[in-house]
Amino acid sequence: MVLFRDTGSEKPQPKRTYHPRSRNGCSNCKKRKVKCDETKPQCTRCLSAGYRCEGFTKSPNECARPEHTTAHPLAIVNGSTTALSHATPRAQTHGALVELKIALPRTSVAEARSYRFFMEVAAPSLAGVFDGDFWLCEIPRACFVDRAIWHAVVSLGAVYEAYLSSNKTNEASRDSHNSNEFILQQSNLAIKALVNTSLEIDKWRTLTASVLFTHICSLQSHHEQAFMHLSAGHKIIQAMLVDGRTMCLKSTFQHTPDPSTETGPGILGSSAKIPVSLATLQAIIANLESHRQAMNCGGLIHETSKNHNFNLWLSYREPPNDPGRLGMSCVASENIINANRAAESLFYGLILYSQKHSDKLAEVVGKGDISSLQALISGQEPYRRCYTRLRTFYQTCHTETETATHAEFTRNPLNKSILTLRLFLTTMRLLLLCNPDTPSQPITQHYLRLQFEDILSTGEKILQLGQISNTSSTIPTPSTTQPLYMVAHSGFPQSLRQRAVLLLRKYPRCDGLWDTSFSAALADLMMRQERASAMCKEVSGEGQVRSEDEDDGEVEVLDRVYNYKVVFQGVRTAVIESRTWRDFLAGASAKRNLLTW
C-alpha cells in the first residue's frame, strides 16, 4: 500500500546553496582530491597539513587565450619526426595519418625556440645509425613525459646553436651572455626536477639526463664535467648489469596525454611506460666511454664484448637481389641503414683489431717482419668477408643511382646514405692489410693515395649535401668525422692531410666527446711534431741536422705519431702526450705539448 504525505503540513526545506566548482587548485590538492583554498603562492591547506605546495596550473580558459604562445606540435609519422607549423588545438585533432601526436607545453618563447632548433638541427646531427631512434623519436616523447628531460633538451638545443655560431664566427656572438644565462637556467631547472627522482624506479630518467648533460658539457668544452656525467651513467649501467635487470622494461609508449586538460611536461604518473629504450642508453653510454678510452690511449681500446654496436658486422648479410624488385629491395631505407650500421661496426672492429695486435704491427713497421704481416692478414679474413658483402650491396645501390640527374640525386635523401656507405668502404680499405678487391695485387703508395683522395672527395660531397635544406632527412647516417680524421692523422702527402683538416674546421660537428675543431687542432699538432722529429734525425749517418728551410713536406713512417694521450686542463685547452713510431721502438718517453683550439 502506498502512503501519501500531507504536503500542506510539511515543513519547508532549506534551499541548498550551490557554489561554482573551481579547477584552479594547486597540484597537491588535486592529487589528494581535497578542496584547495587557492591561496598563492602556497595554499593554506597544504601548509597546514605539512605538505609542500607544488604550485598552480592555469585554467583551460586561461590557456585558450590568444596572447599565450603555443609551441609547434610534433608529429611522429612512421617512426620519423618532423616539425609542423602553428595549428590550433581544434585543427590538431583533425591531423590524419599520424601515429602519435605530441603537442608541446605552453611555455616561454625562448624554450620553444631552442627545442625547435634541437629537433631541426641538433638531433639530426647527433643521430647516428645506432642511436637515430633515440634522438629523433624517443627524446621527443621523453620531453613531453618528463620535465627534467624537457629542460635538459632545451639547454642542449641552445648549447648546440651557440656551438655552431662560435665555430662559424670564431668569436663570441653578441648574445653569448644572454645565451649562457639561458643555458644555465635550463640546466638548473633540469637538475632541480631530477632531485626528487627515485633512482630505483626511474633509472631511465637518470641515464637519459646523463647522456644529455655529457653532450652539453662536451659542446661547451667542459670535458671534466662531461666525464663526471658519463661516469655516473656508466656506474648505473654496470649496477644494472650486475642485478640482471637491464632489459626488463620495453620502450613502449601507450598513453598520450591530452594537452587541453594539462599543461607542461611531466604530467604522467609512474604507471606510464618508459619512453626511452634502456638497451639504446646502454649502447650510447658504452660508445661515449670508448671515446674517453680513445682520448686516454690514442685509439679505441675498450672492452666491447657486451656492446652490440661494435659486433654487428659479425652477423651482417646483404639483402637478396631480386631483379624484378630492384628499386624496392636494394635501395630501401632499412636495407641501407642496416648496411651503414654494419659498415661502421666493421670500421671500429678493424681499429680494435689493430690496437689488439699493435706489437705485431710494430714489428712490421720497424723490422719489416713478413711472417707477422702474413699472420695479421690471416686474422683479418672474417673482416674481409664482411667487407665483400657490403661492397656487393653498395655496387647494386650505386648502379641504380648512376642514371639520376644532379637535381634528382640531391633531392633523394637515400643518396646521402649511399655515399656514407662508400665512404666507410674506402676507409676500411686502408685498415685491411691486403687489397680486399684484388688480393693478388700488392698495396702500393699509389693505391693508398687514391683511397685518401676518395675519402676526401666523398666526405666533402656528404657534408655539402648536409648543408642543403631540402636534403634534410630523418634517415640517420654515420658521421664523416672519423674517416676525415684518419686522413688528417695518417694520410699522405701533406697536402691531403691539410685538406682534411680544413674540412673538419669548415663543417663543425660534435660526435660524443669528439669535436671536429679539436680533431683538426690535434692533427695540426701531430704534423708539426712529425716534422720536428724528421728535422732532428741524422741524415745519411753524417750527423747533420735538417734545417727548417729544407723540404719538410713528407716524413718517413717511423716519424709518424704512434699514440697519444689527451689531458684536458680547461676550456679548449689540453696537454697532449705523444710518441712517434721511432720513439716507441726505442723506448723513449712521450713528448708533452700544449694544445688550444
Other residues' Cβ atoms within 10 Å of the Cβ of residue 166: 18
Query: pLDDT tens digit string along 420-473?
Result: 999 999 999 999 999 998 888 888 889 999 999 999 999 999 998 877 644 445
Other residues' Cβ atoms within 10 Å of the Cβ of residue 144: 25
Last residue of a domain, one of 244, 266, 281: 281
Q: Is residue 116 part of a domain?
A: yes
Looking at the structure, tell me whether residues 31 and 127 fall in a common domain: no
Looking at the structure, tell me whether residues 135 and 110 fall in a common domain: yes
Q: Is residue 426 part of a domain?
A: no
Question: Given this model, what pLDDT does residue 81 score?
Answer: 32
Its pTM surpasses 0.85: no
CA pseudo-torsion sign 280, 284, 287, 289: negative
Q: Is residue 536 part of a domain?
A: yes
* Cα 425 to Cα 438: distance, rounded to the nearest angstrom: 15
| Structural domain range at position 528 | 511-597
Looking at the structure, tell me whether residues 73 and 51 fall in a common domain: no
Q: Is residue 469 part of a domain?
A: no
Looking at the structure, tell me whether residues 22 and 157 fall in a common domain: no
Query: pLDDT tens digit string along 373-387?
Result: 889 999 999 999 999
Query: pLDDT tens digit string along 352-402?
Result: 888 888 788 877 877 777 888 889 999 999 999 999 999 999 988 876 555
**For residue 14, what is the domain's CATH number?**
4.10.240.10
Last residue of a domain, one of 264, 281, 298: 281
* Cα 591 to Cα 583: distance, rounded to the nearest angstrom: 10
Looking at the structure, tell me whether residues 39 and 149 fall in a common domain: no
| pLDDT-above-70 percentage for the chain | 69
Q: Is residue 567 part of a domain?
A: yes
Looking at the structure, tell me whether residues 1 and 112 fall in a common domain: no
Cβ-contact 105, 154 below 8 angstroms? no
Looking at the structure, tell me whether residues 122 and 170 fall in a common domain: yes
Q: Is residue 579 part of a domain?
A: yes
Last residue of a domain, one of 241, 256, 281: 281
Q: How many domains does the chain have?
A: 3
Looking at the structure, tell me whether residues 274 and 167 fall in a common domain: yes
Specify the DSSP element, H or E, that contains 462.
helix 445-467
Looking at the structure, tell me whether residues 108 and 20 fall in a common domain: no
Cβ-contact 454, 105 below 8 angstroms? no
Q: Is residue 447 part of a domain?
A: no
Of the listed ranges 100-104, 144-148, 224-228, 516-520, the one predicted with least confidence: 100-104
